[in-house]
Amino acid sequence: MSVTSLEGSAREGSARAALDTVFDPELDEPITDLGFVRSVTVTPDGALTVRLRLPTSFCSPNFAYLMASDSKDALTALPWTRDVVVLLDDHHDSDLINRGLAADAGYRGTFGAEAEKDLEELRLTFRRKAHSAAMERALACLLRESPDLTEEDLHEVVLADLPDVTAAGALRRRRAALGLGVEPSDHVLVDDHGTRYPQGEIPLRLRFARAVRVSIDGNAHFCRGLLRTRYPRSGADQVPRAEEFAQFTAPQAQFTAPQKENVS
C-alpha cells in the first residue's frame, strides 16, 4: 500500500515535471506556472489523467489545442505511462478538442475544414516574438547597468557582455529554440533569422522589441488575472512570472518581491 502510494506520488511528480516543458506559446511561460494544470491523477496501474483549464471559455482554440496536444506528447514520452488522457475543461471547444486528443486526430483532424494548415507556422511566429522580448529585456538590463552605453553601442554587444542575470539565460533559451547561435561571441541584437541590424536602425528595432515585450507581459498578467477570477483558488497554483523580477528590481537584489501593483 505505502509502496504504491509512494510510487504514485513520484509518478505524479514526474508528470508535473513533464508538463513544465509545455509552454503557452503566446505568453511564453510553462502551463504549470500559469496555473493551467487543474489536476494530475495517476491510478495504481499507471493510467494518467491530466485536466487543463484556461482563463476564459473563448481562449483561442488553436492555442488551446497546441497546449493540450503538447501536454499529451510530453506525458506519453514518459517511460512509465501507458494510458494518457488529457482533458481540457470549460472551453467552448472542449468536446471537439477532447475527442480529437483521445483519437490522436491532430489539429486538422480535430477542427476539419476550419483548419487549413498545421500549427508549426503559428508556433514559429510566437517563438520569434518571445525571442524579441527576451532580447529587449536583456539589453534593457545592460543599459541600466552601464550608464555610459548608448543604444547605438548595442550593435557590438555579444552574449558574453550581458550581465549574468535571469534575462541572459532566458535569451539563450529563446535563441536555441529558434536555432540561433548561443556562443559567447554571438551578437545579441539580431533579427528573427540571426542577422544583425544596421547600426542606424538600432533605436527603432529596440523600440519595437520593447513593444513586443510590453505586449507579452501584458497578456500574461491579463490571462493570469482572468484565471484567478474564473477559478477562485487557482492563484495558489501560479508561480510569479520570472521576468518580472528582473524588470522591477535592481540586478543586485533579484530575489526581492517585485513592485506591488493593485492586482485584483
d(CA 124, CA 109): 21
d(CA 42, CA 35): 19
Rounded to the nearest 5 percent, the helix, strand and coil shares of the chain are: 55, 10, 35
Decide: is 26 part of the binding site for other proteins (CB under 8 A): yes
Stretch of 4-12, 156-164, 219-227, 249-257 lying at the interface with other proteins (CB under 8 A): 219-227
Decide: is 121 part of the binding site for other proteins (CB under 8 A): yes
What length does the chain have?
A: 264
Decide: is 36 part of the binding site for other proteins (CB under 8 A): no
Amino acid in position 195 = T
In the bound state with other proteins, the residue whose beta carbon lies nearer, of 41 and 60, is 60
Q: Which residues contact 70 (CB under 8 A, 6 or more apart)?
A: 22, 23
Among 101, 228, 234, 241, indicate the residue that binds other proteins (CB under 8 A): 228
CA 128 from centre of chain:
12
In the bound state with other proteins, the residue whose beta carbon lies nearer, of 45 and 121, is 121
189-208: contacts with other proteins (CB under 8 A): 207-208
Interface residues with other proteins (CB under 8 A) are 26, 55-58, 60-62, 65, 92-93, 107, 111, 113-119, 121-122, 125, 129, 207-208, 210-212, 214-215, 217-219, 221-222, 225-226, 228-230, 259, 261-264
